[in-house]
Structure 1
Amino acid sequence: MYKILIGLFLSVLCLQAKCQMQFDEGSFSEVLAKAKQEKRMVFMDCYTSWCGPCKMMVQDVFSQEDVGQFMNTRFVNVKLDMEKGEGRELAKKYQVKVYPTFLILNEDGEVIHKMVGGMKAEEFLQNVQNGIGEHSLYSYEKRYADGERDPQFVYSYIETLARAFMKERMEEVLHEYWGTLTDQEKSCKENWMLVKRFVKNPALPEYKYLLEHKKDFDAAVSKDSVDRKIYDDLFPLIVNDCNEIIFHDKVNAAQLLETYEVCVTRSGIAGQDYLLDIVEFTKVFLSGDLKKALKMYDKKFSRLDSDARFDVTLQLNGMLIRKGDAKMCKRGLELIEKTMKDCGWSVDNPLFAAVVSGLKDKFKDDKDE
């Protein structure tokens, strides 16, 4: 009886293993040869030993029966650590920089499709199906090379490049396509989603065009939509760069702030005053006039909502810890504690406890000197 149970248990394990994705353990050249002989494509899981999402895919996705059935019948599957053995050279060849990356290759090792990141089984199967059909990266590249420039097609192609983390190629295609458009076509409703999602960098000529011709875009889609897009683009860039200047002495800080000031002013968007205030706040810090920074925090930022005051409170904290004397730190503590009370922030909040603690330590150390 015991032997029968053991046999049944082992049979179940074998059946489960067969239902999962089967990965070939041969060399990459052997995998390609097998794919050519069996007239199948290659699916390559590019992973690293430290990648959490890579492990999740193995445990939660590749182990599922429906995934195994679909993949095993269509592909020679292989998984390679991109930091070991021939994985190092393949990572360079296929420009694998993010993990996990999944490549669909033809029998000659040419890229048909590229996917990046962990995902659920349903999404994974849908992406693979796209990758072996008309929505594959290979298909889009061929259609683009053949001269297709329909706005919806170009949008889908650039979206596929973005999902594959192919930033350089994405910007290249965007720039080429933009150069073929008339002024009227650039601001038309059909191209708005392309601008909204993929024209994000203020340094790009396409973004400068957006700012210079904002009224045309306003008329095509609505001022509110264009304002929101520009604000959502600029806000994280400005806050992150200002934080970098305050906390780490970012290179070319003054020039960068001037660029942001011109960019925001030119946009004329709703909410531009707050963005300009953040830039001005950081310029005051660069000038070394922390008394003015304290006054600005107290007077100008006191009218902001809780979330906005959160950002500038952390910035003031960084300014004072880095360059403030005991008197300034004491005044800063008073203002920050008042802000915490006005905004209903708990004194037990670990983040703000750390803020207050850091200023108190700075105040104490300066007094003791």
Structure 2
Amino acid sequence: MIKKITLGLIAICAFSLTTIAQEINWVTMDEALELQKKEPKKIFMDVYTNWCGPCKMLDRNTFQNADVAAYVNEHYYAVKFNAEGNEKVTYKDNTFGNPNYDASKANRRNSAHEFSKFLKVRAYPTMVFFDEDGGFISPIQGYQKPQQLELYLKLFKSNKYKDMTTQEQFNEYYKAFKPTFKE
């Protein structure tokens, strides 16, 4: 009898964990730009490299957060982009690649992708935001905890950034922001 109850509890716990866990629906940049034509949404891009420790922490600690995943999935097209990979990207009628990519260095430092250079990404991780028409909004550099990322996700989603012309205006927004995402 105890064995049946224990197995039942294990099954309930496993079911609960799988229903609570939510993953971000990652797509390529080309797919996100195509999706925007049918249903306009902003784009959230995670620019990472395979060797970057803070990038892996962002994946594990922030992108696995249920609040972050739900918010990103609802309000953005999420793009995961390897800044040193060899994926082709077409953006604003230009095709970007990585002509100096070395497959033998796939998990080590490699050459920078032309698209990451175009976006002026200089550190990893960097999260880049684009508007509903695929226009560049802003990069956010460095590791972000869920509540830190929440500030930017909501700032860009609400378009409040358009009214901020000074650092002081952003600082006021920052001070007044009340996070709701769980850590």
Q: What TM-score do the two structures reach when normalised by structure 2?
A: 0.65
1:107 and 1:154 map into 2 onto residues whose CA distance is 23
- Kindly state the Cα deviation for residue 72 of structure 1 after the two structures are TM-superposed: 0.9
Instruction: Say if 2:46 and 2:127, in contact at 8 Å, map to a contact too.
Output: yes
Q: Structure 2: which amino acid aligns with 1:102?
A: M
Instruction: Say if 2:128 and 2:139, in contact at 8 Å, map to a contact too.
Output: yes
Instruction: Say if 2:126 and 2:140, in contact at 8 Å, map to a contact too.
Output: yes
Q: Unpaired segments of 5 or more residues in structure 2? A: 88-96, 98-112, 172-183
Match of 2:166 in 1: 154
Show CA shifts across 1:140-171 (max 9, x none).
6xx7xxxxxxxxx4334898xxxxxxxxxxxx
- Kindly state the Cα deviation for residue 14 of structure 1 after the two structures are TM-superposed: 4.1
- Quick one: which of 126, 130, 133 aligns to 1:108? 133
Q: Which of the two has higher C-alpha Rg?
A: 1
1:33 and 1:156 map into 2 onto residues whose CA distance is 36
Q: What TM-score do the two structures reach when normalised by structure 1?
A: 0.34
Sequence identity (%): 29
1:9 and 1:155 map into 2 onto residues whose CA distance is 47
Match of 2:25 in 1: 22
**Equivalences for residues 346-357 of structure 1 within 5 A:** none
Q: Structure 1: which amino acid aligns with 2:63?
A: F
CA 1:134–1:41: 2 relative to 1, 3 Å: closer
Match of 1:61 in 2: 62
Match of 2:119 in 1: 94
* More RCO (CA 8 Å, sep 6+): 2
Aligned-residue Cα RMSD (Å) equals 3.0
- Kindly state the Cα deviation for residue 66 of structure 1 after the two structures are TM-superposed: 1.2
Quick check: which one's helix share is greater? Answer: 1
Match of 1:121 in 2: 146
1:59 and 1:49 map into 2 onto residues whose CA distance is 14
**Equivalences for residues 89-238 of structure 1 within 5 A:** 89-136=114-161, 139=162, 153-156=165-168
Match of 1:79 in 2: 80
- Kindly state the Cα deviation for residue 89 of structure 1 after the two structures are TM-superposed: 2.6
Instruction: Say if 2:48 and 2:83, in contact at 8 Å, map to a contact too.
Output: yes
Match of 2:45 in 1: 44
Matched positions, count: 143
Quick check: which one's strand share is greater? Answer: 2
* 1:97 aligned counterpart, secondary structure: coil
1:7 and 1:85 map into 2 onto residues whose CA distance is 42
2:41 and 2:120 map into 1 onto residues whose CA distance is 23
Match of 1:231 in 2: none
Q: Unpaired segments of 5 or more residues in structure 1? A: 144-152, 160-369
Q: Structure 1: which amino acid aligns with 2:24?
A: M
* 2:137 aligned counterpart, secondary structure: strand
Q: Structure 1: which amino acid aligns with 2:140?
A: M
1:74 and 1:48 map into 2 onto residues whose CA distance is 25
1:81 and 1:64 map into 2 onto residues whose CA distance is 21
1:33 and 1:4 map into 2 onto residues whose CA distance is 45
2:12 and 2:32 map into 1 onto residues whose CA distance is 33
- Kindly state the Cα deviation for residue 43 of structure 1 after the two structures are TM-superposed: 0.7
- Kindly state the Cα deviation for residue 77 of structure 1 after the two structures are TM-superposed: 0.7
1:35 and 1:7 map into 2 onto residues whose CA distance is 40
Show CA shifts across 1:98-119 (max 9, x none).
1111111124321123211112
